[in-house]
Structure 1
Amino acid sequence: MFAIGKQYHFETSMVVNAPIEKVYEQASSSKKFNEWNPWMDLDPNLKLTYSGTQGQPGDEYCWQGNDDVGQGCHVIIALVPNQKIATKMMFKKPFESDATSDIMLTNEGSATKVTWSMDCELDYPMNLMKLMMDSQMEDSYGKGLKKLKELVEK
């Protein structure tokens, strides 16, 4: 028998044909992030509240939606201009959990490589979901990165 640990890490990347500064601007504030956040499309009646200063640590949005999106908050905890956006997500419904997520930016010639990651700890029995989460995360994060690419390549 094998053991399934509690730690979960996921990351995916995409190269966008835009300068790093333009990508950073689109990723470093909650309101701009939500223009390409893949979960915004899951509930047309999603309620959002924003607090803090946009584009600064403490920039936060909280959401309340249908069963597909649940309820929680997402806050920027650290910014390294044109390199990294670090966030924390606090999920309240359908279950309580926390996760961290980073968006890392690196130059690829005149383009920008965007790497989006998430880390969390899943207690039993939720940790059994790890076996299926990668494909769901790739689908969601992939949709988001594709939207980001479309926005910044305009």
Structure 2
Amino acid sequence: MRVKLFLLSMVAVGMMAASAFAASPDWFKLDENEDSSFFFDRSGVTPLREGVIQVRTRVVYSDQGRKDALKVLAELPDSTPLYETLYSYEINCAEREGHLLAATHLDKKGGTLRSTDLSAVTEWEEFPPDTRMGLVIVQACTR
């Protein structure tokens, strides 16, 4: 019984320590238009291997942008309270290319509406400098 209690205590302490060290997102606005605002998480850059990183981005929709996004996301009804989408990308800094790993669609309270692992179905693509992901490369690959 004492061993079990000790182990549970150690797990709880480990979880608290891990959450204390986990960086909260540092969303930096890179772009904005009539449909959405686009953010890059400056604290969410993770080195994967030499010259390759993983990054997180965020799109917060305007009313019109929300409607347009729901047209693309045909599996979600028009009445879905879509507020934002979080994306995870793998980026090769030297090649200025990357691919989408995952997308999570959220409501305004942060509730998950739909989350999709896309790593097996997306291909690597070039991110030109004049695109939103090109702006991410400028920020993330100079760190």
Q: TM-score range by the shorter chain?
A: 0.3 to 0.5
TM-score (norm 1): 0.31
* Higher relative contact order structure (alpha carbons within 8 Å, sequence separation ≥ 6): 1
